[in-house]
Homo-oligomer: A and B are copies of this chain.
Protein backbone atom coordinates (compact mmCIF):
# COMPACT_ATOMS: atom_id res chain seq x y z
CA UNK A 1 0.00 0.00 0.00
CA UNK A 2 2.80 2.43 0.87
CA UNK A 3 5.43 2.92 -1.81
CA UNK A 4 7.71 4.76 0.54
CA UNK A 5 9.98 2.33 2.37
CA UNK A 6 10.63 4.51 5.40
CA UNK A 7 8.21 3.84 8.23
CA UNK A 8 8.03 6.22 11.18
CA UNK A 9 5.63 5.27 13.97
CA UNK A 10 3.17 8.00 14.88
CA UNK A 11 3.99 7.41 18.54
CA UNK A 12 7.53 8.61 17.77
CA UNK A 13 6.18 12.13 17.13
CA UNK A 14 3.22 12.38 19.51
CA UNK A 15 0.01 14.27 18.68
CA UNK A 16 1.49 17.77 18.78
CA UNK A 17 4.57 16.74 16.81
CA UNK A 18 2.41 15.03 14.22
CA UNK A 19 0.13 18.04 13.72
CA UNK A 20 3.21 20.25 13.43
CA UNK A 21 4.73 17.97 10.79
CA UNK A 22 1.53 17.73 8.77
CA UNK A 23 0.78 21.45 8.83
CA UNK A 24 4.19 23.15 8.89
CA UNK A 25 4.17 23.98 5.18
CA UNK A 26 0.81 25.72 5.21
CA UNK A 27 0.62 29.28 3.90
CA UNK A 28 -2.78 30.90 4.38
CA UNK A 29 -4.10 32.32 1.10
CA UNK A 30 -7.27 34.14 2.12
CA UNK A 31 -7.43 37.52 3.85
CA UNK A 32 -10.33 36.06 5.81
CA UNK A 33 -8.09 33.36 7.34
CA UNK A 34 -6.80 35.40 10.28
CA UNK A 35 -5.39 32.44 12.20
CA UNK A 36 -4.82 28.81 11.24
CA UNK A 37 -3.56 25.80 13.15
CA UNK A 38 -1.92 26.37 16.55
CA UNK A 39 -4.39 27.90 19.01
CA UNK A 40 -7.64 26.65 20.57
CA UNK A 41 -9.54 27.76 17.45
CA UNK A 42 -8.99 29.00 13.93
CA UNK A 43 -10.08 32.62 13.40
CA UNK A 44 -11.97 33.74 10.31
CA UNK A 45 -12.86 37.33 9.46
CA UNK A 46 -16.62 37.84 9.28
CA UNK A 47 -17.56 41.44 8.66
CA UNK A 48 -16.05 44.68 9.92
CA UNK A 49 -14.06 43.99 13.11
CA UNK A 50 -15.98 40.74 13.67
CA UNK A 51 -14.66 37.19 13.64
CA UNK A 52 -15.88 33.66 13.61
CA UNK A 53 -13.78 31.20 15.57
CA UNK A 54 -13.95 27.53 14.74
CA UNK A 55 -12.76 24.33 16.38
CA UNK A 56 -13.23 20.65 15.67
CA UNK A 57 -12.66 17.42 17.53
CA UNK A 58 -13.16 13.74 16.88
CA UNK A 59 -13.97 11.28 19.66
CA UNK A 60 -13.44 7.56 19.08
CA UNK A 61 -14.92 4.75 21.19
CA UNK A 62 -12.27 2.77 23.04
CA UNK A 63 -9.80 5.65 22.74
CA UNK A 64 -11.62 8.73 24.08
CA UNK A 65 -14.52 7.11 25.89
CA UNK A 66 -15.60 3.76 27.33
CA UNK A 67 -19.29 2.97 27.02
CA UNK A 68 -19.10 0.39 29.80
CA UNK A 69 -19.32 3.26 32.29
CA UNK A 70 -20.26 6.27 30.15
CA UNK A 71 -24.00 6.82 29.59
CA UNK A 72 -24.63 7.94 26.00
CA UNK A 73 -26.47 11.04 27.17
CA UNK A 74 -23.44 12.12 29.20
CA UNK A 75 -21.18 11.34 26.26
CA UNK A 76 -23.19 13.62 23.96
CA UNK A 77 -23.12 16.38 26.56
CA UNK A 78 -19.38 16.08 27.15
CA UNK A 79 -18.58 15.96 23.43
CA UNK A 80 -20.28 19.34 23.00
CA UNK A 81 -18.76 20.85 26.16
CA UNK A 82 -15.21 19.90 25.16
CA UNK A 83 -15.64 21.81 21.88
CA UNK A 84 -17.38 24.84 23.38
CA UNK A 85 -14.53 25.03 25.89
CA UNK A 86 -12.18 25.74 22.98
CA UNK A 87 -14.43 28.59 21.82
CA UNK A 88 -14.44 30.16 25.32
CA UNK A 89 -10.66 29.69 25.35
CA UNK A 90 -10.49 32.35 22.59
CA UNK A 91 -12.67 34.66 24.73
CA UNK A 92 -15.44 34.16 22.15
CA UNK A 93 -19.10 33.14 22.42
CA UNK A 94 -20.16 29.82 20.88
CA UNK A 95 -23.24 30.04 18.68
CA UNK A 96 -23.38 26.97 16.43
CA UNK A 97 -22.23 23.37 16.28
CA UNK A 98 -22.32 20.63 13.66
CA UNK A 99 -22.31 16.98 14.70
CA UNK A 100 -21.19 13.96 12.66
CA UNK A 101 -21.78 10.50 14.06
CA UNK A 102 -20.64 7.13 12.70
CA UNK A 103 -21.81 3.98 14.45
CA UNK A 104 -21.94 0.23 13.93
CA UNK A 105 -25.24 -1.67 13.80
CA UNK A 106 -24.71 -2.51 17.48
CA UNK A 107 -26.37 0.87 18.11
CA UNK A 108 -30.13 1.30 17.88
CA UNK A 109 -32.11 4.42 17.00
CA UNK A 110 -32.99 4.70 20.70
CA UNK A 111 -29.29 4.67 21.64
CA UNK A 112 -28.60 7.48 19.17
CA UNK A 113 -31.55 9.41 20.57
CA UNK A 114 -29.95 9.19 24.03
CA UNK A 115 -26.70 10.56 22.58
CA UNK A 116 -28.59 13.44 20.93
CA UNK A 117 -30.50 14.15 24.16
CA UNK A 118 -27.14 14.92 25.74
CA UNK A 119 -26.08 16.99 22.74
CA UNK A 120 -29.36 18.93 22.84
CA UNK A 121 -29.05 19.48 26.59
CA UNK A 122 -25.58 21.01 26.18
CA UNK A 123 -26.89 23.19 23.32
CA UNK A 124 -29.69 24.39 25.59
CA UNK A 125 -27.39 25.04 28.56
CA UNK A 126 -24.78 26.96 26.54
CA UNK A 127 -27.23 28.65 24.16
CA UNK A 128 -25.89 27.03 21.00
CA UNK A 129 -27.65 25.95 17.78
CA UNK A 130 -27.13 22.54 16.21
CA UNK A 131 -27.07 23.53 12.53
CA UNK A 132 -25.70 20.56 10.61
CA UNK A 133 -23.92 17.27 10.46
CA UNK A 134 -24.34 13.76 9.18
CA UNK A 135 -24.73 10.20 10.33
CA UNK A 136 -23.16 7.14 8.78
CA UNK A 137 -22.22 3.56 9.45
CA UNK A 138 -18.98 2.33 10.92
CA UNK A 139 -17.55 -1.17 10.85
CA UNK A 140 -16.94 -1.06 14.58
CA UNK A 141 -17.76 1.30 17.42
CA UNK A 142 -18.98 4.86 17.73
CA UNK A 143 -17.24 7.99 16.45
CA UNK A 144 -18.40 11.54 17.08
CA UNK A 145 -16.97 14.57 15.32
CA UNK A 146 -18.12 18.00 16.44
CA UNK A 147 -17.29 21.38 14.97
CA UNK A 148 -18.12 24.46 17.02
CA UNK A 149 -18.38 28.01 15.72
CA UNK A 150 -18.22 31.08 17.88
CA UNK A 151 -18.29 34.82 17.41
CA UNK A 152 -16.20 37.66 18.81
CA UNK A 153 -15.07 41.19 18.14
CA UNK A 154 -11.57 40.84 16.74
CA UNK A 155 -10.29 43.10 19.51
CA UNK A 156 -11.75 40.84 22.22
CA UNK A 157 -9.95 37.67 21.12
CA UNK A 158 -7.29 36.30 23.45
CA UNK A 159 -4.58 34.00 22.10
CA UNK A 160 -2.09 31.64 23.68
CA UNK A 161 0.86 33.85 22.82
CA UNK A 162 0.14 37.06 24.73
CA UNK A 163 1.55 36.30 28.19
CA UNK A 164 4.29 38.70 29.38
CA UNK A 165 6.89 38.65 32.13
CA UNK A 166 5.39 39.41 35.55
CA UNK A 167 1.83 38.59 34.42
CA UNK A 168 -0.13 36.60 37.00
CA UNK A 169 -1.09 33.05 36.13
CA UNK A 170 -4.69 32.09 36.98
CA UNK A 171 -7.00 29.10 36.69
CA UNK A 172 -10.74 28.72 37.11
CA UNK A 173 -12.54 26.15 39.27
CA UNK A 174 -10.54 23.21 40.54
CA UNK A 175 -8.08 20.80 39.01
CA UNK A 176 -7.52 17.06 38.79
CA UNK A 177 -11.10 16.03 39.61
CA UNK A 178 -11.96 14.60 36.17
CA UNK A 179 -8.78 12.54 36.19
CA UNK A 180 -9.47 11.10 39.64
CA UNK A 181 -13.05 10.35 38.59
CA UNK A 182 -11.66 8.38 35.66
CA UNK A 183 -9.40 6.39 37.99
CA UNK A 184 -12.36 5.38 40.14
CA UNK A 185 -14.48 4.42 37.11
CA UNK A 186 -11.62 2.33 35.72
CA UNK A 187 -11.11 0.68 39.11
CA UNK A 188 -14.79 -0.19 39.47
CA UNK A 189 -14.78 -1.57 35.93
CA UNK A 190 -11.87 -3.91 36.79
CA UNK A 191 -13.66 -5.06 39.97
CA UNK A 192 -16.85 -5.68 38.01
CA UNK A 193 -14.99 -7.72 35.38
CA UNK A 194 -13.37 -9.83 38.09
CA UNK A 195 -16.60 -10.33 40.02
CA UNK A 196 -19.85 -9.17 38.38
CA UNK A 197 -21.77 -9.76 41.63
CA UNK A 198 -20.00 -7.05 43.61
CA UNK A 199 -22.20 -3.93 43.84
CA UNK A 200 -20.12 -0.83 43.15
CA UNK A 201 -20.02 1.65 46.02
CA UNK A 202 -19.15 4.95 44.39
CA UNK A 203 -21.35 7.39 46.27
CA UNK A 204 -18.41 8.93 48.10
CA UNK A 205 -16.87 9.73 44.70
CA UNK A 206 -19.92 11.46 43.23
CA UNK A 207 -18.21 14.82 42.67
CA UNK A 208 -15.14 13.55 40.83
CA UNK A 209 -17.13 11.04 38.77
CA UNK A 210 -19.51 13.82 37.79
CA UNK A 211 -16.54 15.94 36.75
CA UNK A 212 -15.33 13.11 34.50
CA UNK A 213 -18.68 12.17 32.97
CA UNK A 214 -20.41 15.54 32.75
CA UNK A 215 -17.91 18.42 32.70
CA UNK A 216 -18.94 22.04 32.29
CA UNK A 217 -17.34 25.05 30.60
CA UNK A 218 -15.86 27.90 32.62
CA UNK A 219 -17.97 30.48 30.80
CA UNK A 220 -19.29 32.13 33.98
CA UNK A 221 -15.78 32.98 35.14
CA UNK A 222 -15.03 34.42 31.69
CA UNK A 223 -18.15 36.58 31.91
CA UNK A 224 -17.10 37.73 35.39
CA UNK A 225 -13.71 38.80 34.02
CA UNK A 226 -15.43 40.80 31.32
CA UNK A 227 -17.70 42.52 33.84
CA UNK A 228 -14.66 43.32 35.99
CA UNK A 229 -13.02 44.94 32.96
CA UNK A 230 -10.20 42.42 32.75
CA UNK A 231 -8.93 41.14 29.42
CA UNK A 232 -6.54 38.21 29.92
CA UNK A 233 -3.20 38.53 28.16
CA UNK A 234 -3.27 34.82 27.21
CA UNK A 235 -5.89 32.10 27.51
CA UNK A 236 -6.20 28.35 26.93
CA UNK A 237 -8.55 25.64 28.16
CA UNK A 238 -7.27 22.78 30.29
CA UNK A 239 -8.07 19.65 28.34
CA UNK A 240 -4.71 17.83 28.43
CA UNK A 241 -3.68 18.90 31.93
CA UNK A 242 -2.39 22.11 33.53
CA UNK A 243 1.30 21.34 32.95
CA UNK A 244 0.78 20.64 29.25
CA UNK A 245 -1.21 23.88 28.79
CA UNK A 246 1.39 25.90 30.73
CA UNK A 247 3.99 24.68 28.26
CA UNK A 248 1.81 25.81 25.32
CA UNK A 249 1.42 29.29 26.80
CA UNK A 250 5.09 29.54 27.75
CA UNK A 251 6.42 28.38 24.39
CA UNK A 252 4.09 30.56 22.32
CA UNK A 253 4.45 33.62 24.55
CA UNK A 254 8.19 33.25 25.10
CA UNK A 255 8.08 33.25 28.89
CA UNK A 256 8.97 31.07 31.86
CA UNK A 257 6.65 30.30 34.80
CA UNK A 258 6.73 29.88 38.57
CA UNK A 259 3.79 27.97 40.07
CA UNK A 260 3.05 27.58 43.79
CA UNK A 261 1.65 24.13 44.47
CA UNK A 262 -0.16 25.32 47.60
CA UNK A 263 -2.15 27.71 45.40
CA UNK A 264 -3.46 24.95 43.11
CA UNK A 265 -7.22 24.60 43.62
CA UNK A 266 -7.87 20.96 44.50
CA UNK A 267 -11.25 19.80 45.75
CA UNK A 268 -11.25 17.82 48.99
CA UNK A 269 -12.68 14.74 47.24
CA UNK A 270 -9.99 14.93 44.57
CA UNK A 271 -7.35 15.29 47.28
CA UNK A 272 -8.67 12.40 49.42
CA UNK A 273 -9.01 10.07 46.42
CA UNK A 274 -5.49 10.88 45.25
CA UNK A 275 -4.15 9.97 48.70
CA UNK A 276 -6.27 6.79 48.72
CA UNK A 277 -4.73 5.77 45.38
CA UNK A 278 -1.18 6.72 46.46
CA UNK A 279 -0.96 9.69 44.11
CA UNK A 280 0.47 13.09 44.93
CA UNK A 281 -2.43 15.62 44.77
CA UNK A 282 -0.40 18.46 43.17
CA UNK A 283 0.84 16.02 40.52
CA UNK A 284 -2.79 15.09 39.81
CA UNK A 285 -3.66 18.78 39.50
CA UNK A 286 -0.73 19.38 37.11
CA UNK A 287 -1.26 16.33 34.95
CA UNK A 288 -4.93 15.37 35.09
CA UNK A 289 -6.80 16.21 31.90
CA UNK A 290 -10.42 16.87 30.93
CA UNK A 291 -11.26 19.40 33.62
CA UNK A 292 -12.18 21.98 30.94
CA UNK A 293 -11.20 24.77 33.28
CA UNK A 294 -9.45 27.83 31.85
CA UNK A 295 -5.80 28.76 32.32
CA UNK A 296 -5.02 32.43 31.70
CA UNK A 297 -2.65 35.23 32.48
CA UNK A 298 -3.46 38.81 33.53
CA UNK A 299 -1.44 41.96 34.09
CA UNK A 300 -0.29 42.49 37.69
CA UNK A 301 -2.31 45.72 37.70
CA UNK A 302 -5.50 43.66 37.43
CA UNK A 303 -4.83 41.79 40.68
CA UNK A 304 -7.09 44.01 42.78
CA UNK A 305 -9.94 43.61 40.29
CA UNK A 306 -9.66 39.81 40.18
CA UNK A 307 -9.36 39.18 43.91
CA UNK A 308 -13.08 39.14 44.60
CA UNK A 309 -14.15 36.99 41.63
CA UNK A 310 -15.48 33.58 42.62
CA UNK A 311 -13.68 30.46 41.39
CA UNK A 312 -10.63 32.22 40.02
CA UNK A 313 -7.28 31.39 41.58
CA UNK A 314 -3.88 33.00 41.11
CA UNK A 315 -1.39 30.13 41.06
CA UNK A 316 1.86 31.78 40.02
CA UNK A 317 3.45 34.31 37.72
CA UNK A 318 5.38 34.65 34.46
CA UNK A 319 9.17 34.97 34.39
CA UNK A 320 11.66 35.56 31.58
CA UNK A 321 11.89 32.51 29.29
CA UNK A 322 15.52 32.07 30.32
CA UNK A 323 14.41 31.27 33.87
CA UNK A 324 12.53 28.14 32.77
CA UNK A 325 9.42 26.48 34.18
CA UNK A 326 9.29 25.64 37.85
CA UNK A 327 6.96 24.91 40.72
CA UNK A 328 7.45 25.37 44.44
CA UNK A 329 6.14 22.64 46.71
CA UNK A 330 4.42 23.47 50.01
CA UNK A 331 7.71 22.87 51.81
CA UNK A 332 9.51 25.31 49.51
CA UNK A 333 11.35 22.85 47.29
CA UNK A 334 11.80 24.12 43.71
CA UNK A 335 10.93 21.50 41.07
CA UNK A 336 11.32 21.58 37.32
CA UNK A 337 7.90 21.39 35.64
CA UNK A 338 7.42 18.36 33.42
CA UNK A 339 5.56 18.62 30.14
CA UNK A 340 3.30 15.73 30.96
CA UNK A 341 -0.28 15.09 30.02
CA UNK A 342 -2.24 12.75 32.23
CA UNK A 343 -1.04 9.83 30.10
CA UNK A 344 2.24 10.22 31.93
CA UNK A 345 0.95 8.58 35.12
Contacts and interface: CB of A to CB of B under 8 A. Distances in A.
Quickly give the copy total for this chain.
2
B47 A10 contact: no
B46 A96 contact: no
A155 interface: no
A18 interface: yes
A46 B108 CA distance: 38
Contact of A21 (B9, B109, B145, B147): B109
Contacts of A29: 127-129
Contacts of A19: 133-135
Interface string A135-148: 11111110101010
A129 B68 CA distance: 39
Contacts of A272: none
A37 interface: yes
A280 interface: no
A47 B52 CA distance: 10
Contacts of A28: 129, 131
A131 B37 contact: yes
Nearest to A115: B22
Contact of A109 (B9, B37, B113): B9
A1 B47 CA distance: 47
Interface in A211-225: none
Contacts of A9: 105, 108-109
A149 B13 CA distance: 29
Given A47-B50, A138-B63, A100 B145 contact: yes
A18 B113 CA distance: 10
Interface string A46-68: 11101010111110111110011
A236 interface: no
A54 B8 CA distance: 35
Contacts of A127: 29-30
A156 interface: no
Given A2-B110, A18-B109, A44 B52 contact: yes
B149 A44 contact: yes
17 contacts: A2-B72, A6-B110, A8-B109, A9-B105, A10-B103, A15-B136, A26-B130, A37-B130, A47-B47, A47-B50, A52-B52, A54-B132, A55-B132, A56-B147, A60-B138, A63-B139, A98-B147
